[in-house]
Amino acid sequence: MNIKSVVSIWSFDKVALLFLVVAGAGLVYRQPSTQFPIETGDSPGFRVIQPDSYVDYGSDLYIERVVFKPFTTIVHAPTIVEGPDDALHTFWYGGSREGGKDVAIYGATLDQGDVSWSDPRQVVTREQTQKDLNRYIKKLGNPVVTIDELKRFWLFYVSVSVGGWAGSSINVKWSDDGINWTPAKRLITSPFLNLSTLVKGNPIIYSDGHLVVPAYHEFIGKFAELIDVDMDGNVYNKRRLSWGREALQPSIMVRNPEQAQVYMRYAGAKPSRVMLTETADKGYSWTTPIKTQLPNPDAAIAVLGVRGGALEDALIMAFNNSPESRNRLSLGLSKDNGKSWVVLHDFEYDQNTAERFSYPYMIQTTNGHYHLVYAWNRSLIKHVVFNNRWLEQRALATLGNN
């Protein structure tokens, strides 16, 4: 390559970088908006999913287990879903290090009635994604799994072709059984080179069957949004939830067909608190994000509405209960729609070490049980299951009869 060619490439890169910075700044600091506008009357509304039944064990239920024995150096970002056959399916990424070329998406299954998870299986590799998309893939990141109304598995996951996580894109694969998967499809989430979009948090379903995928950006700024996806994996609408450099990794909690709340990880100036935004018009518009009373050490959270039992309509949240460290993973309860919170339980708390218990992901299954998965010091994936009776006992012990 001659000197002229080198200079030309260098100049092009500088111009491209300048364009990215200027355009990205506009994306970060503009007010929240809907990229593909729809009228509020046309919005289908959120689907409220109730468990089919509540299994009465006669007492509270609380079980902790490890999903698998270590077989990669690090594991992170677990996600979990209940399949059509009532089996549980969990997925995570693992490899020699975060961002390593050997990182792959793995999965395991817990069949109904079993007490141990299946052996891990490799579900997505960098090489296979590269082949599916016909583009260079540098590394893989966060997975998120869900089930649609047709009982199909959707596995969303992050890939990067150039740079760090700020250069991420979202891909999706489908499966009928959670074992055999279609080739990957790349979601078109942004007109801005389709870059800097990542996933973390439970997708939800509109009343018309379409999916709402919580997403976030890390290019220049850090902000959250919701992506509306049709049944073919095409993005047809986006709703901005925050702007600037503060809130990301949204976790959405549907209250009824018109109202929902989104709680977000906080990456801004102190005091470090979980962020909250709300909608009362089916997600068409969202309030300006505010800080809650809950601490947040720039870490992911997971929130659910309680369905069934004496705490019906209360909120529970798995979160790192510290403004600075991920060494404490707790369960919070709110009985007043998120205005105030109490801590019911510590899943993990190690005051003397730098252990990290992070990236919680929580669901409620059709039998009414709650399932939490999280990364234990990035070396194990832990699975916790509990029921409403256990929640009620913890609330009684903490709050009395209030």
- Cα separation, 127 vs 125, in Å, equals 5
Band the pLDDT of 347: cuts 50, 70, 90: very high
Whole-number pLDDT of residue 282: 93
pLDDT at 6 over 50: no
Which phi-psi region, left, alpha or beta, contains residue 77 (left: φ > 0; alpha: ψ -120 to 50)? left
Residue 176: how many other CB atoms lie within 10 Å: 14
pLDDT at 108 over 70: yes
Measure the CA dihedral 333/334/338/342, to 10°: -70
**Are residues 265 and 292 in contact, defined by beta-carbon separation less than 8 angstroms?**
no
**Are residues 270 and 261 in contact, defined by beta-carbon separation less than 8 angstroms?**
no
Residue 185: how many other CB atoms lie within 10 Å: 16
Task: Please choose, from the candidates 211, 200, 217, the residue with its C-alpha nearest in 3D space to the C-alpha of residue 251.
Answer: 200
Residues 6+ positions from 370 with CB-CB distance below 8 Å: 304, 316, 362, 363, 364, 385, 386, 387, 391
In what helix (H) or strand (E) does residue 254 lie, and over which residues does it extend?
Answer: strand 247-254
Here the tokens at position 331 are: 């369960």
Q: Note the pLDDT tens digit of each residue in 158-210.
A: 999 988 888 899 999 999 999 999 999 999 987 767 778 999 999 999 999 99
Residue 22: how many other CB atoms lie within 10 Å: 10
Here the tokens at position 167 are: 């250069």
CA 278 and chain centroid, separation? 18
Residue 210: CA count within 13 A, CB half-sphere: 17
Q: Note the pLDDT tens digit of each residue in 27-75.
A: 444 444 334 444 344 668 998 877 776 665 568 999 999 998 888 999 9
Beta strands in 280-391 (DSSP E): 290-295, 302-305, 315-320, 328-334, 342-349, 357-364, 370-376, 380-386
Here the tokens at position 90 are: 């969990």
Q: Note the pLDDT tens digit of each residue in 210-269.
A: 999 999 998 778 899 999 999 999 999 999 999 888 999 999 999 999 999 999 999 999
Q: Note the pLDDT tens digit of each residue in 87-101.
A: 999 999 999 999 999
Tell me which amino acid residue 59 is. Answer: S
DSSP per-residue letters across 8-29: HHHHHHHHHHHHHHHHHHHHHH
DSSP per-residue letters across 65-124: EES----SSEEEEEEEEE-TTS-EEEEEEEESSTT-TT-EEEEEEE-TT-SSPPPPEEEE
CA 208 and chain centroid, separation? 22
Q: Where are the domains of the chain?
A: 297-402
Whole-number pLDDT of residue 34: 38
Task: Give the burial string for 375-396 (b: 16+ CB within 10 Å, else e).
Answer: bbbbebbbbbbbbbbbbbbbbe
> 290-294 long-range CB contacts below 8 Å, 24 or more apart?
291/266, 292/263, 292/338, 292/341, 293/340, 293/341, 294/319, 294/321, 294/332, 294/341
- Cα separation, 61 vs 262, in Å, equals 28
Q: Note the pLDDT tens digit of each residue in 299-327.
A: 999 999 999 889 999 999 999 999 999 99
In what helix (H) or strand (E) does residue 216 lie, and over which residues does it extend?
Answer: strand 211-217
**Are residues 155 and 123 in contact, defined by beta-carbon separation less than 8 angstroms?**
yes
**Are residues 262 and 248 in contact, defined by beta-carbon separation less than 8 angstroms?**
no
Tell me which amino acid residue 342 is. Answer: V
Whole-number pLDDT of residue 192: 64
Sign of the CA dihedral 289, 264, 340, 366? positive
